[in-house]
Amino acid sequence: MDPILKVAKYFTENAQSLSAEIVDIILIKINLDIPQWEKELAVNVYTDFIGFLGESLSFGEHDRVPEGLIEWSKTNGEREASSGGRISEIIRRYPETRAVFTEHITRISEEYQLSIKQMAYIITRLNYMLDISISETIKAFETLTDEIIKKAQNEVISLSAPVVPIQDGIAVLPLIGAIDTERAEFLMEKAIPKVVQLNIQCLIIDFSGLATIDTSVANHLFNIHSALRLLGIRAIITGIRSELAKAVVGAGIDLSSIRTYANVKQAIEAM
């Protein structure tokens, strides 16, 4: 049997014991103390990895990677992201993992009397698989993290721009904090349907809580007024401060057709 195939078979048959030994060495090298359940999980993970390495060596192809390794790496990244962890907690283990695996491969290669070229081939396969694993782990971590952040942002936007009914047919839309283009578009997509759903005839859009605004965002917000008018809903604007008024004028927005008041109290009294 080809010496490399013998080594591949050795990895496959001894994956569990090799994994336990490697995990102990890595934990000592990185001075990491973890609970028993986490250690057992790490042993299982490295058992799979060693099995992947043995499978990879059996392929005899330089660029083929077992699908199991890809899925395992993605799972690692997603698990760290979903638990609110840091990708560095995974990545920092790779250098020592690489070094420990290389030491074991060197020892096993000597036992099976592999040539330097054959040993280099196995180490190259190891490094290639580790690099692919790192890449897939990071991509999965970043993808899920972006999804989590996006979901949280949408929830914050939704909570920061509620349509609040105050009387029959009347509601207030308080705009709070900083408004960017994305949040302004969200208001168009979510707030207007909410107004229609609540059967609101008059909506008071209160700008007094806005921290910052630019001309493009101001234009988006005043488009809400136009959209409401097309739906037969009267819109009243309150709380326009001097800096916002300047931004509105600078954007060329015509306020002559919009009823405005200094604050919500004045608007309600006028109605």
In the sheet with 259-261, reading across from the earlier edge strand, the strands are 164-167, 170-178, 202-212, 234-238, 259-261
How confident is the model at residue 141, as a pLDDT? 94
How confident is the model at residue 144, as a pLDDT? 93
Tokens of 157: 């936007």
Q: What is the mean pLDDT of the chain?
A: 82
Q: Pairing between strand 259-261 and 170-178?
A: unpaired
Architecture of domain 161-270: 2-Layer Sandwich (3.30)
Q: How many CA atoms lie within 13 A of 77 on its CB side?
A: 22
CATH 1.10.490.10 in the chain is located at 3-153
CATH 3.30.750.24 in the chain is located at 161-270
Tokens of 235: 């819109």
Angle between the N-to-C axes of helices 116-160 and 94-111, in degrees from 0 to 180, rounded to the nearest 10:
160
How confident is the model at residue 213, as a pLDDT? 64
Choose the CATH number for 3-153 among 1.10.490.10, 1.10.760.10, 3.40.50.300, 1.10.10.10: 1.10.490.10
Low-confidence ranges of the chain (pLDDT < 70): 1, 60-64, 66, 157-161, 211-218, 221, 247-248, 251, 253-256
The label of the residue with tokens 């900083």 reads: 178
User: Model pTM?
Assistant: 0.60
Cβ–Cβ under 8 Å, residues 267 and 238? yes
